[in-house]
A and B are shown apart, each in its own frame.
Chain A
Amino acid sequence: MSGRASGLALRLVLCLALVTAVLTACSGDDTDEPVRLRVLASPDLAVLTPLLGELKEATGVDLRLDVRSDAETKAPDRDRYDLAWLSSDRYLRLTAESAVRGLQRTATMTSPVVVGLAPDVARKLRAGVPGGRLTWADIADAAATGTVRFGMADPRHSASGLAALVGVATAAAGTGGTLRPEDVSCDRLRGFRSGQTLTAETGPALVDSYVDHQDRANALITYESDLLALNATDRLDDPLEVVRPEDGMVLADFPLLLLDPSRRAAYDEVTEWLQRDSTQQKIMQRALRRPVSTTVTREQQLREPVGNALYFPDRLTVIEALLADYGDPNRRAADQVVFLLDFSGSMRGDRMTGLREAFADLSGADSTASGKFTRFYRGERLTVLRFGGRVLEEKTVTVTGPKDLKTLADTVARGGYGDATAVWSALDHGYRTAARELAAEPDRSVSLVLMTDGENNAGLTYEEFVRHHKALPAAVRTGVPTYPVHFGEADAGELRRAAAQTGGRMVDAAHSSLSKAFKEIRGCH
């Protein structure tokens, strides 16, 4: 109360002082003082700076944009800023709920996060898809093979990067609903991510980076407006083709938030001006974003249907899991999977056919969306270890192209069956391989897949394996999970215990196929 009263007194004194000093400054109607507002702005808004002069002329409100690269991910400092103008406030609504709840909020324009593809890549991808309608799964598939090399802003710092990540993760989960914690318990974006060759902290910086490194990337995932604006310049060798993924997009609505309620009158003036058709028209022409006004005639390229909006997760744990899995785009360590495959006699026939099909599917033969997200990808390191009563063969490749995948297929296709089943000796061997690989590259993420169709009848007992496992270096013991695939006559109880012991999870292939079981595991390591 007293604060308000003294505020009033202060304002009176100030205004009276102004009256005596400059008579004309205070004339006019209600908002007579020139008002200056401090605005925390995301870099995506800098493009509108030239319009602010007109705003000042029309309303007397002077917006001072302070463009900060962390504006969209750090709770706004309400002592320093009167307003915040972001491309999206979704991240803050989840991470800083108390700081942004209940604020006056006005959407000022919209733009979806889409994919820009170099013309030759777009042509190639469209040719492989019925109707030429590309999905996020097709982009992920092409990223895994190295066909698409894309730039995307760092989702930890930029709303456009986060929107892209949510979009592709929602498509990967494939539920048609919003992402739930169980949908992100497995990281299905490894293949997609392997195609990322460029990143930046902000949208505009990403665009600049792409222009400078057109030899390193042929795709750009960002706001439609950024792609259209870039195409309108002569900075590109070839204009990018705008692809709106069929399975959906995330839309940004560039909200203007009122952080300091006492600046309400000026805020109202600003939002009224921003929503005028004449202003919306200028925003559209300058930034190539879609007007929020329904009466502005849109430019031809903004009349394309925007694509179905995906439901955006409302749980922070989901976003945190996505960001943690996605990690630092600048530091990518290759992942490694060691497949321990039972080649005892009982695997002959249909079971072996199923195993070979599973490997073919993971090598790109599976054309379903989930298959495209979980396939082997460029840079991934893969070990196939065949075992019977002992280790029959061990082969490791780093995927650089089809020839490496063929090497793997050949290894799996080779006959030579063992006459016994030494499950725990094989797993023990697998851990020694993992330990060696981790020692060579400590950042690498390594996991084991243990596929067996029978009970252990040779080599180490389960208890002996556990003793060996407990003696492993901590990084191997706690960081390398085993995913057993239960199949045929294998002992489900023991396999489940081994999974629990190593931090993995057993997957049952008894009632589905090995191919499905492998897909389920992929990304969970």
Chain B
Amino acid sequence: MKIVIDQDRCIASGQCVSAVGEVFDQRDEDGVVVLLDPTPPADLAVAVRQAAAVCPARAIHVEE
């Protein structure tokens, strides 16, 4: 699994951080998404897909 994020699209809803805080964080200055781990372990795959599905700005892309 490989994750690509689009910081320009991000609106800082924070739903990715709630879904899987091991993989996503937010910038202190404006809440925009930060990718902590672009190739997370398999046991986080379900949570990562959930994060991408709930992202309101469609700023998270998951390549399997």
Q: Do A and B come from one complex?
A: no
